[in-house]
């Protein structure tokens, strides 16, 4: 009895069919087709299409942040406007002399001007900044840190682990809830220790309440060793001069946040902080302060591994120039979000609901996010939808990321750029 041989589906035929639904390169579609055939699914084409969709959604792409978390770690923290001419740059070329230059000079001058530092350098991120400072200034020696500041923050960044990897030794001082100046002085005076520096760590989104006592930078500056303040979130100046003219008064969450200029003025020898949080710039870490300590960091072998690329420095330079010109509220997306008035936010939400024909306007609270200003909120307006629509909004042509609470979906207008309101309208209208 003759039986008809069965053959696997044609990889090429499946890949050609996938071309109709996707603009991915042909080689990727062929790979998805091969994986679908190897899977042995009853519907090979459907499996291949699902693999293509999964690949497409895994690619980095624009999304609309409607969560109300202004610095959303999962959504890239501070949003950036990135422009490039496609030309070469004078990254390490001195246009004045025609000789090799330093990639750090321009940003160092701008940072120093803005925070009152003698010098500054830029590295990949704030973890790298802390690591470099410890390796350059305390390798093989001891660093005093309050037990209440020996914390772990997002992404598993733990002060004791970073200390160990840098080659420095952690000396815990004080207790979890109370650390006084004399605790640091005792550690420095002890013959068992070789204290190279004192580090004060901003605990980010961790807080101890009740019977507590801490030691200020000004107090620590009276000690005989350098003071390094890891302020983390990247606020340049808590008087926020760039907000003048945009808000009647500086919000309390800003005035209460540790800032680089004030930390240095209080006596910190170095400050370290992130570029993609309250600074509103690209991911990087910034070290600013005493010129001799900066020079020690810059000349350390780790600096070569931790230095940022030209695109990061160019983006950071643009952000710093906006601060210097006091145009941050018009140039930097994060500060645009912060300075939006509630009246404008309510009007935008009302217009979107009217155009989309779905939802209702509600008052909501925005969060700064990324461990900055923990516990603080900013009054805002948004759109409420009865039911959980997160999945449908996430699969819009330009994904809209929302949040839910008690089976209600909320879209906060403060974290949405006004230029993207039409995208929100289209996404909401598709839900009807």
Residue 25's alpha-carbon distances to 30, 37, 51, 52, 56, in angstroms, are 9, 19, 14, 11, 11
Please count the other Cβ atoms lying within 10 Å of the Cβ belonging to residue 56. Answer: 14
* pTM, two decimal places: 0.92
Query: Judging by beta carbons within 10 Å of its beta carbon (0-12, 13-18, 19+), is residue 36 exposed, middle or buried?
Result: buried
Decide: 307 and 265 in contact? Cβ < 8 Å: no
Decide: 244 and 327 in contact? Cβ < 8 Å: no
In this prediction, residue 9 carries a pLDDT of 80
Residues 284, 123: Cα–Cα separation, whole Å:
6
Decide: 279 and 78 in contact? Cβ < 8 Å: yes
pLDDT values of the chain reduced to their tens digit, one per residue, 432 residues: 455 556 678 898 999 999 988 999 999 999 999 999 998 888 999 999 999 999 999 999 999 999 999 999 999 999 998 888 889 999 999 999 999 999 999 999 999 999 999 999 999 999 999 999 999 999 999 999 998 888 776 666 678 888 888 999 999 998 878 889 999 999 999 989 999 999 999 876 666 676 778 899 999 999 999 999 999 889 999 999 999 888 878 988 898 899 999 999 999 999 999 999 999 999 999 999 999 999 999 999 999 999 999 999 999 999 999 999 999 999 999 999 999 999 999 999 999 999 999 999 999 999 999 888 887 899 999 999 999 999 999 999 999 999 999 999 999 999 999 999 999 999 999 999
């Amino acid at each position: 009895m003759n039986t008809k041989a069965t053959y696997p589906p044609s990889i090429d035929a499946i890949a050609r069919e996938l071309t109709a639904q996707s603009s991915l390169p042909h080689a990727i579609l062929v790979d998805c087709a091969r994986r679908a055939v190897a899977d042995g699914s009853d519907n090979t084409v459907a499996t291949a299409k699902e693999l293509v969709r999964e690949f497409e959604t895994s690619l980095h792409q624009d999304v609309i942040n409607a969560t109300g978390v202004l610095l959303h770690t999962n959504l890239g923290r501070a949003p950036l406007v990135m422009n490039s001419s496609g030309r070469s740059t004078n990254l390490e070329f001195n246009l004045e002399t025609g000789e090799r230059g330093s990639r750090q000079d321009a940003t160092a001058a701008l940072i120093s001007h803005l925070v009152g530092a003698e010098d500054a350098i830029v590295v990949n991120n704030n973890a790298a900044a802390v690591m470099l400072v410890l390796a350059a200034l305390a390798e093989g020696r001891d660093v005093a840190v309050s037990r209440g500041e020996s914390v772990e923050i997002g992404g598993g960044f733990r002060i004791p682990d970073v200390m160990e990897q840098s080659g420095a030794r952690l000396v815990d001082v004080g207790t979890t809830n109370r650390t006084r100046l004399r605790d640091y002085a005792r550690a420095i005076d002890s013959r068992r220790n070789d204290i190279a520096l004192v580090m004060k760590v901003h605990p980010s989104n961790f807080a101890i309440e009740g019977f507590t006592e801490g030691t200020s930078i000004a107090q620590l500056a009276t000690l005989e060793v350098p003071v390094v303040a890891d302020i983390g979130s990247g606020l340049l100046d808590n008087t926020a001069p760039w907000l003048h003219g945009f808000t009647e008064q500086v919000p309390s969450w800003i005035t209460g946040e540790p800032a680089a200029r004030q930390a240095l003025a209080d006596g910190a020898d170095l400050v370290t902080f992130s570029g993609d949080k309250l600074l509103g710039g690209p991911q990087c870490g910034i070290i600013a302060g005493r010129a001799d300590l900066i020079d020690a960091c810059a000349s350390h072998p780790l600096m070569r591994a931790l230095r940022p690329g030209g695109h990061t420095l160019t983006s950071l330079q643009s952000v710093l120039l906006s601060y210097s010109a006091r145009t941050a509220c018009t140039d930097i997306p994060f500060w645009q979000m912060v300075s939006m008035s509630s009246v404008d936010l309510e009007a935008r939400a009302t217009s979107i609901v009217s155009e989309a024909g779905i939802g209702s306007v509600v008052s909501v609270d925005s969060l700064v996010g990324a461990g900055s200003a923990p516990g603080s909120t900013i009054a805002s307006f948004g759109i409420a939808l009865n039911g959980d629509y997160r999945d449908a909004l996430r699969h819009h042509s330009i994904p809209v990321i929302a949040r839910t609470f008690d089976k209600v979906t909320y879209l906060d207008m403060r974290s949405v750029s006004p230029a993207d309101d039409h995208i929100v309208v289209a996404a909401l209208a598709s839900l009807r």
